[in-house]
Structure 1
Amino acid sequence: MSVIPTLDIRRFDSDRDAFVAELGAAYREWGFCGIRGHGISDELIHGAYERFRAFFALPTEVKMKYHLPGTGGARGYTPFGVETAKDSRYPDLKEFWHVGREIPRDSEFADIMAPNLWPEEVAGFKEYGYGLYTALDQLGSRVLRALALHIGLPEIFFEDKTNFGNSILRPIHYPPITTPDVPNVRAGAHEDINFITLLVGASAAGLEVKSRKGEWVPFTADADTIVVNIGDMLQRLTNHVYPSTTHRVVNPPGDEARKPRYSVPFFLHPNPDVVLDPLPACVTADNPRRYDTSITSHEYLMERLREIKLV
Structure 2
Amino acid sequence: MSGAQTRDGVLDVPVIDITPFRIDAHGGARDAVAAAVDQAARTVGFMQIVGHGIPQQTLDAFTRATEAFFGQELSAKLAYRCPPGVNRGYSPPKSEALANSLGLVSTADLFEAFNVGAQASDFPGLDLSPTDYEENVWPDTPGFRPAVEDWFAAAGGVSRTMMRIVGRALDLGEEYFASSTDHSVDVLRMINYRLPSADVELEPDQVGMGAHTDYGIVTVLWADAVPGLEILDAEGRWHPAQPATGALLVNLGDALARWTNDQWISTMHRVAAPVVDGVLVPRRSAAFFHDGNVDAVIAPLPTCVDTEHPARYEPVTVGEHLRAKLAGSRGGALATVAQREVARLDPTGADPR
Please give the range of the TM-score, normalised by the shorter of the 2 chains: over 0.9
Instruction: Show the counterpart of 1:163.
Output: 182
Q: How far does residue 77 in structure 1 lie from its aligned partner after superposition? A: 0.9
Q: How far does residue 235 in structure 1 lie from its aligned partner after superposition? A: 0.9
Structure 1 residue ranges (4+ consecutive) displaced by more than 6 angstroms after TM superposition: none
Distance 2:249 2:278 in 1: 22
Q: Name which of 142, 145, 165 aligns with 2:161.
A: 142
Q: Name which of 206, 211, 236 aligns with 1:189.
A: 211
Distance 1:70 1:219 in 2: 30
Instruction: Show the counterpart of 2:16.
Output: 7
Distance 2:67 2:83 in 1: 23
Q: Name which of 214, 218, 222 aligns with 2:244.
A: 222
Q: Does 1:151 align with 2:173?
A: no
User: 2:183 aligns to what SS in structure 1?
Assistant: coil
Q: Name which of 17, 21, 32 aligns with 1:18.
A: 32
Instruction: Show the counterpart of 1:99.
Output: 116
Distance 2:74 2:240 in 1: 33
5+ residue gaps in structure 2? 1-9, 333-353
CA contact (8 A) 2:218 2:250 kept: yes
Q: Percent identity?
A: 32
Q: How far does residue 150 in structure 1 lie from its aligned partner after superposition? A: 1.3
CA contact (8 A) 2:82 2:89 kept: yes
- Structure 2 length normalisation: TM-score? 0.82
Instruction: Show the counterpart of 2:60.
Output: 46
5+ residue gaps in structure 1? none
Instruction: Show the counterpart of 1:299.
Output: 320
Instruction: Show the counterpart of 2:136.
Output: 116
Q: Does 1:286 align with 2:308?
A: yes
Q: Deviations over 1:193-219 (max 9, x none)?
A: 111111013341111111223332211
Q: How far does residue 172 in structure 1 lie from its aligned partner after superposition? A: 0.5
Distance 1:10 1:137 in 2: 16
Q: How far does residue 282 in structure 1 lie from its aligned partner after superposition? A: 1.3
- Structure 1 length normalisation: TM-score? 0.93
Q: Deviations over 1:143-164 (max 9, x none)?
A: 1111111111121111221121
- Which shifted more, 176-185 or 75-84? 176-185
Residue 253 and residue 57 in structure 1: after superposition, are their counterparts in 2 closer, same or farther (change >3 A)? closer
Distance 1:118 1:203 in 2: 27
Q: How far does residue 309 in structure 1 lie from its aligned partner after superposition? A: 3.7
Q: How far does residue 106 in structure 1 lie from its aligned partner after superposition? A: 6.1
Distance 1:224 1:283 in 2: 37
User: 1:267 aligns to what SS in structure 2?
Assistant: strand
Instruction: Show the counterpart of 2:199.
Output: 178
Q: Does 1:89 align with 2:106?
A: yes
CA contact (8 A) 1:151 1:282 kept: no
CA contact (8 A) 2:295 2:317 kept: yes
- Which shifted more, 301-310 or 126-135? 301-310
Instruction: Show the counterpart of 1:207.
Output: 229
Q: Does 1:128 align with 2:142?
A: no
Q: How far does residue 22 in structure 1 lie from its aligned partner after superposition? A: 1.3
Structural mapping, 1:232-251, within 5 Å: 232-251=254-273
CA contact (8 A) 1:208 1:219 kept: yes
Q: How far does residue 104 in structure 1 lie from its aligned partner after superposition? A: 4.0
Q: How far does residue 35 in structure 1 lie from its aligned partner after superposition? A: 0.3
CA contact (8 A) 2:208 2:274 kept: no
Amino acid at match of 1:233: A
